[in-house]
Amino acid sequence: MVKTRPAQRASEGVVVPRIVATNNATGGKRPCGGQASGEGTCEGMAGRSGPNSPGGRPPIDKVRHLQRSLWAAAKRSPERRFHALLDRIWRPDILQEAWHRVRRNRGAAGVDRVTLAAIEQYGVERMLSDLGGALRDGTYRPQPVLRRYIPKADGRQRPLGIPTIRDRVAQMAAKLVLEPIFEADFRPSSYGFRPKRSATQALEVLRVQGARGGNHVLDADIRDYFGSIDQTTLMRLLEQRISDRRVLKLLRQWLAAGVLEAGQWSATLMGTPQGGVISPLLANIYLHVLDRIWETRCAHLGTLVRYADDFVVMCRTRAAVEEARQRVSTVLTRLGLELHPEKTRVVDLSWGREGFDFLGCHLRKRLSGPIWERQRQRVYFLQRWPSQRAMRQVRTRIRELTPRRRCHEDLRPVIAEVNAVVRGWGQYFRTGNAATRFIHVDRYVEDRLRGLMLKRYGSRLTPGRAEEWRRPFFEALGLCRLRGTIQYPGAAQCRA
């Protein structure tokens, strides 16, 4: 036997570890892809991606490690400008992670009509190698974005830009590298399209501030935000943190790629196209100016809560909210933006007089009945529930999934499709005071499914048969229930 160290004595014998190696499972793959036999096959250190020693540390995610390093460096040096970033963007592991995220988000093809399936048929590794080489050599040129329109709540249409999948992968790779640098600067008041931040957190801040005396709200709306961003100002903001000219050139190319609509190309001299992977990051960088100025100069007026271009300011007094409106307007004017005069308003929450819509919810103060009955005190809570628009949208989607022409189909697939919509909708609104609205949605789903059964039987319907088609009948087929899924946040109260 070969001794493992010079000082090992013969009397020590063979040391048998007590920890079971969890990575040596039988039936695994050989390094060449063959199936391992029951007797076990010896694999070299390069033959597995997990740790070699039992109980060892897991392999380091190189992409995550790079992001943490960039974030830490930016946090330590607020004035630092980063160079040599393009070398990180075209790294194979960065491009691979970018592809996985683009693939997970799915999405349509761009102007080249190349779909995700077509790229997989062509070869993902081959496409990433070509893209990495073009980025490295400086020959990469983005294609125009494909213009599409989606309906807005007011009946108008919102323009949407769809980049090619190749450009989406390149933008995602740039986002993976640039986002940690700017994340180190972003303020707590920003919640939209940021890691580990959500709309629910933004709504919770408002609930807590409402409990602490916030009775006046500036419900702000920026007129045509994505189409009004000044590209020159945006590039100056990017240059405050980026000194790599190749990366700055790449960002300029995306901004100036243009739009293809009805076969006609048009230049984009202003704004960033909605729909691009990197557009939310650029939008946050642009409005970070507002966040920074508010935190350093205006925080005494109230609390700013921003989700991308949608934001509110909650103040204690009417005078404070009016001053907040003036200061916000001044900052936006410096950025070449303006508040929408018709959609921006001041809301008085005291005594439940008024409410406002924010992030799909309607927020309004409500009198606490139990406290009034016990103590005869008027204590108001800021509550939230799905807005009328959110209720219309979910009913429309359910109606689209349950047309009368599906009456002869098996109900189980129909219910599965409805469940996917209802569960996702309920997951978002379940942390508020949506119990009544959840019951309404449950009843609407039941009525739609019952209508399918009535249409199926028609004149063959026997007396009393329709009474069987109630919620227990549909739940036996797998229908989910929203009622009872509310998860209330921490209790907070205030006196109006």
Say if residue 491's pLDDT is above 50. no
Give the per-residue pLDDT at 18: 39
Q: DSSP for 44-95?
A: -GGG-SS-SSTTPPPPP-HHHHHHHHHHHHHHH-TT--B---HHHHT-HHHH
Label the pairing between strands 361-367 and 380-386: antiparallel
Whole-angstrom distance, CA of residue 472 vs CA of residue 446: 10
Give the per-residue pLDDT at 45: 34
Give the per-residue pLDDT at 154: 67
Ramachandran area for residue 161 (φ above 0: left; ψ -120 to 50: alpha; else beta): beta
Give the per-residue pLDDT at 46: 37
Q: Count H helices, E strands: the chain?
A: 17, 11
Say if residue 49's pLDDT is above 80. no
For the segment 409-468, what is each residue's pLDDT rounded down to a tens digit? 999 999 999 999 999 999 999 998 999 999 999 999 999 999 999 999 988 888 888 889
Whole-angstrom distance, CA of residue 192 vs CA of residue 90: 27
What are residue 36's phi and psi, to 5 degrees?
-75, 150
Label the pairing between strands 259-261 and 145-151: parallel
**Confidence class for position 495, pLDDT limits 50, 70, 90:** very low
Query: Residue range 30-38: average pLDDT?
Result: 38
Backbone CA torsion sign across 260, 266, 269, 270 = negative
Give the per-residue pLDDT at 60: 58
Give the per-residue pLDDT at 489: 67
**Confidence class for position 59, pLDDT limits 50, 70, 90:** low
Query: Residue 72: which residues within 8 A CB-CB, separation 6 or more?
Result: none
- The percent of residues above 70 in pLDDT, for the chain, comes to 86
Query: Residue range 334-359: average pLDDT?
Result: 95
Whole-angstrom distance, CA of residue 100 vs CA of residue 118: 15
The more confidently predicted of residues 335 and 1 is: 335
**Confidence class for position 404, pLDDT limits 50, 70, 90:** very high
**Confidence class for position 29, pLDDT limits 50, 70, 90:** very low
DSSP state of 34: P
Say if residue 39's pLDDT is above 60. no
Q: Which residues, in sequence order, are bridge partners of residue 158?
A: 150
For the segment 171-201, what is each residue's pLDDT rounded down to a tens digit? 999 999 999 999 999 999 999 999 999 999 9
Which tokens hold the place of 154? 């007011």
- The percent of residues above 90 in pLDDT, for the chain, comes to 73
Query: Residue range 15-37: average pLDDT?
Result: 38
Query: Residue range 139-155: average pLDDT?
Result: 86
Q: Which residues, in sequence order, are bridge partners of residue 161?
A: 147
**Confidence class for position 151, pLDDT limits 50, 70, 90:** confident
- One-letter amino acid at 57 equals R
The more confidently predicted of residues 255 and 150 is: 255
Say if residue 15's pLDDT is above 80. no
The more confidently predicted of residues 80 and 45 is: 80
- One-letter amino acid at 254 equals W
